[in-house]
Every structure is written in structure tokens, then in C-alpha cells.
Structure 1
């Protein structure tokens, strides 16, 4: 049962959502406040529940298309190992309980969580993804909000530069991430009758579109000091990673090898962790250095 639930919840994505929310929590945390482990744990628990519930609902919504695709044919709903009513019950339970937990954390955090579910399951899954080749662009909005969700748990100013940075860095990351994966599994998406960008316009044109987001993503990382705290890790990690992502993109764009996508895909994913956690680390390192200096 554990393995079935892990697949139903898309545990890898849930993990990524949670660590993004944790980064937002740390970046938004007021330095003068005392840390509450219970509050932090509730944010993590609520985020885990709503994301796993939303992703489970996504599998219920896409079950007929998943049956046609090679990479999704072993999902528990497709294979019949789990019934739709059971999956729906688990999904609703997680989303409702998760929303209540997040409401206790901060009502704004709960509202952001509900907004994510409405956008992802209501608009993206049902209307944009099945009908539009550029669905990934507006569909990146709910995927860009976990950092803001974590930020809002400790800071109501969700329009602050730091919160805007969290949104933008996750938004811009998603198009290179998803479209690169979509190029790799283009034939599978075609079997599932998803009109994603590589299926409609082909690999070369998709790479052309990816380029705009790669350059904007790298530029945002380099401009991070305009949005968030920075210290020595910004120079040691963020600038090099931004340049490496651009370099790996050019390698991928020029290569004709079948596996050329993988290094760029991995560097892009690793870079997001750097771009989220370096500002967090720099914020607190700089604070402790300042305290030490004036003692």
C-alpha cells in the first residue's frame, strides 16, 4: 500500500514542493521572532497534505490519458491496484485536512494553498493542458507558489521583493524543466493526446522557446541581490550556477545525441535548489556575522 500511495501522491514532486516551501519559510522569517518548531512542522505537514492530495486528484483526472502512455501505465489507478473512489477519498481528505492545518498556520497560507489547487486541478489539468501547446506557461503559476506559500506562513507581505523573487525563480525554472522533459517523452505525450509544445512544433522550435526562459532564469539569479539578502555564497554558488545553466543549455541545443537533454535537465534542477537556498543561507550567515562583529 505504501508503494501505491507513494506513486499516487507523486512523492518526488511533493518533496520538491515541500523543500521549496521550507526555503520560503526561512527567507520570510522575521529575524526578531523566536522560532516555533510546532508552527514550522504544521506548515510542512499542511503543504505535504495539500500537494499530495492535489497530485492524486490530477491522476484521477488524467486516468484515461495515462492508460495510453508508457511512462504512466503502472500508476495504481491505471493498473487497477487502486479504485477511483478510494483515490478520490484520499485526495479530498488530504486537501481538506491540509487546508485546515495551513489555516491554523496563517489564513493567507491556506488561501494560497487553495488557489494552487484551483489553478492546477481546475484550470491547468482540465482546460489548458489538454487543449493548448503553451499550457505550461500559465500552468507554471501554481507550480511557482510553494515558495510564496512558505513565505506567507511567517510573513504577510507576500508582495515584498523576496516573495516576488521566490515566485519568479520557480516560475521561470518550470518551462526549461518541463519542456526538456517533454522533448524526451514527446512520443509518449503524443500517445496520451496532449498537445504539448514539442508534439505540436517539434524539438528545435521548443528549444528556441526554452532559450527565453533559460536566459531570464539565469539573469534573475544574477540579479538576486535586488530582491533578497546576499553574502559570500551568492558569489561562490549562484553566479557560477547561473552561468553553468546557460552553458549546458547551449550544449544541449547544439547536440544531436539522444541523451544530451539529461545534463541540462539535471543542472537546471540542481540550480533551483541553489537559487532557493543560497539566499536563505546568506541571510542567516550575514545576520550571525553581524551579531558576532558587534559583540
Structure 2
């Protein structure tokens, strides 16, 4: 039997940064944190379930293509970044397992056999598993972006942790495209300080804090639209009674913005 795996909320960085030398150099702390995840796990997962901030549907939707293509959901980057291929196999059997878990929990679920990996999925995974050997199930957020629904999704997915599946919520702890650099410095610091405190609180308090996240300092300055925060809710819901630890933190990403990533496990 596989050891129970932790869950993660990762800040996935900006655009196709690993394939751009200047951006990759600037994001070395993020790169190191992502590439260290396999070591932290101590085992190769049977699959990664990636809940991506870059996909929203009316119902939580599962990518079921056995060999997904690519979705280049960014603009203004060099031509070579639109030829990137991350050839990890899909996980259609896992999609069926997830659909069963969600249906049993009364959560709307759908499948999409056409959609490829978006950059919320392939960018961090290319750093975590550059050989693309681990099957990947990509999953959408649900339109409406209700925190309670995404926490409930995480709870329904929790049994997968005992089945060798690594659950990852891929977003950004700060995501205001109009306020990077100095404009984002103070708001991101304030929100990150709240996030650190909220996530290390007792599990019951942590859940309530996340449900009320809009009351946090500079919440809407940091997340004018919360799609990059909602993957955190899924990671927490799947490890609601577990300990939180910060596995990535820096104050200089995007020209001075504070960003973090978190791990949730029983250790």
C-alpha cells in the first residue's frame, strides 16, 4: 500500500518561464521548490491530479484524453514557447475513479476528452517531473468560484491520497496582472502574512479563514478575481485535518511581489 501523500498548493509562476533563460534565472527559488517536491514525497506517485487555475467550467471537469495535447494560454512570448510539448500521459482510469468519488459526494462532474495541458499544469510539472513519466489528470475549477464548493471538492478527493495520487492545486498566492512590481509589493506582503497565519491555524479555524478570505488584508488587491486562489481550497479540503507548512516563499518575484506555496500533510 502506498504511503499517504501530502497535498500541495503551488504558485506556478508566470507564463512559460522555464523555457526563457532570463525568467528562469529570476525564478530560481520557485524552480528549486518545485524540483524538490519529488524528494519530499519519497516515492513516485501513480499519477498527479492537477487542479489548474487556468480552466473553469460549469461543473468540475476532468481531462480524459490518454495523451493530452497542449494549450498555450499565454500571449506575447517568443515563438519557441508555442512549440513546447510536455508529453506526460493522461490518466483516464483515474478520471473514472474521480468521477465516482464526486458523484458519491453529490458534486457535479463532467469529462472533456479534447482539452490539453494548460500552463497551470505543464509549467510546474515540467520542473517537478521533467521526464514526463508520471500520468496526469487535469481538472478544472467550477465557474462561480465558490470557496465552499472547492473545499468540498478537496474533501471528496481525499481518499486518493492513500491510492498513490498526488493532489496539487496550481495557482498563485498573488495574482493581479495590473499590479506587479512595486505596485504589488505592500498588498502582497499583507495578504501573504495573513495567508501564512490562516493556514497554520487549527484546521477548523483554517477552513473558516479560507471561506472568509475576502476579509483578509488587501484581499481584492491581490486577487481581483480569485481563480488563482481557489486551487488552494482544493488542496486544503483534501487535507483538512493536516498540518500546513510553507515550502516556497520569496519577496522578489515579478519585480517585488511576495508569493508562497504550501504543503499539507499529517507530519
Same fold (TM over 0.5): no
Q: TM-score, normalised by structure 2?
A: 0.30
Larger radius of gyration: 1
Q: TM-score, normalised by structure 1?
A: 0.28
| Higher-RCO chain (CA-CA 8 Å, sequence separation at least 6) | 2
Higher strand share: 2
